[in-house]
Amino acid sequence: MQNLTNQAASKYLGQKVEGTQTYCPDFLVAVPRYENRKQYNIDNDSLPFEGVDVWHAYEFSSMTKNGLPFTRLLKLRYPSNSEFIVESKSLKLYLNSFNMSRYGATIAESLQICAEMIKNDLSSVLKTDVELKFLENNVKRELIFSNFNNILDYVDENTIKIEVFKESPELLKTQITSARREYYLCFDSLRSNCRVTHQPDFGDVFICYKSKIHIEEEALVKYLCSFRSEYHFHEECCEMIYKRLYDLLDKNNDELMVSILYTRRGGIDICPIRWSKNYKSTDIFDDLINVTKYARNSIKQ
pLDDT category, 246, cuts 50, 70, 90? very high
Q: Tell me, yes or no, whether 301 lies in a domain.
A: no
DSSP 8-state secondary structure symbol assigned to residue 123: H
201, 204, 254, 269: the active-site residue: 201
Q: Which of 141, 174, 209 is the last residue of a domain?
A: 141
174 domain-assigned: yes
Residue 80 lies in a domain: yes
Annotation says 238 is catalytic: no
Full domain range(s) for residue 208: 144-296
Residues 287 and 236 reside in one and the same domain: yes
Given 3-state DSSP classes, what are the helix, strand and coil percentages for the chain, each rounded to the nearest 5?
A: 30, 35, 40
Count of domains for the chain: 2
88 with 221, same domain?
A: no
Whether residue 155 is contained in a domain is answered as yes
* Interval 51-93: pLDDT, tens: 999 999 999 999 999 999 999 999 999 999 999 999 999 999 9
153 against 17, higher pLDDT? 153
3-state secondary structure of 175: strand
Are 98 and 152 found together in one domain?
A: no
Proportion of the chain above pLDDT 70, given as a percent: 94
Chain-centroid distance, C-alpha 278 = 21
pLDDT band at 1 (very low <50, low <70, confident <90, very high): very low
Q: Do 148 and 282 belong together in one domain? A: yes
List Cβ neighbours of 94 (8 Å cut-off, separation of 6 or more).
24, 25, 27, 28, 121
> Which of 114, 121, 186, 194 is flagged as catalytic?
194
Active site residue 194: yes
- CA distance linking residue 183 with residue 280, whole number of Å: 15
